[in-house]
C-alpha cells in the first residue's frame, strides 16, 4: 500500500504531464527565451538588421546608469512617486 497519496499521483501522472507540458513550453518559449535573448543582445552594439555585431559587454549598462541624465532623472522621479504614494 502506498503512503501519502503517491498512488494517486502514479495513477494520473500521464494526465498531469499532458496538462502541464503545454504551459511549460509556452512559458519557456514566450517568457524565458525572450528575456535571455534580450540580455544577450544588450551586450552587443547591433543595428538590428546589420550582419555585424560588435561586442561591447556591459558598457551599454554603464553608459545608461552613469551618463544618461534623462534616465537618472526618471529614476529619481520614480522613487519620489513610490515614496510619496506610500505616504498617501
Q: Between vectors from CA 22 to CA 20 and to CA 27, what angle results, nearest 5°?
A: 95
Helix (H, G, I), strand (E, B) or coil at 50: coil
For the chain, which residues make up each domain, given as ranges? 6-87
pLDDT at 11: 79
Cell of 39: 540580455
- Cell numbers 552613469 label which residue? 66
| CB 43, CB 55: distance < 8 Å | yes
pTM for this one?
0.67
Residue 10 neighbours by CB under 8 Å, 6+ apart: 2
pLDDT tens series, the chain, 88 aa: 455 567 767 778 889 899 999 999 999 999 999 999 999 999 999 888 889 999 999 999 999 888 999 999 999 999 999 999 877 6
Tell me which H or E stretch contains 45: strand 44-45
Amino acid at each position: 500500500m502506498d503512503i501519502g497519496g503517491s498512488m494517486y499521483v502514479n495513477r494520473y501522472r500521464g494526465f498531469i504531464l499532458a496538462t502541464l507540458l503545454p504551459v511549460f513550453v509556452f512559458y519557456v518559449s514566450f517568457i524565458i527565451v525572450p528575456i535571455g535573448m534580450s540580455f544577450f543582445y544588450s551586450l552587443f552594439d547591433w543595428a538590428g538588421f546589420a550582419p555585424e555585431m560588435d561586442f561591447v559587454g556591459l558598457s551599454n549598462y554603464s553608459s545608461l546608469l552613469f551618463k544618461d541624465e534623462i534616465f537618472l532623472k526618471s529614476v529619481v522621479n520614480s522613487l519620489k512617486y513610490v515614496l510619496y504614494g506610500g505616504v498617501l
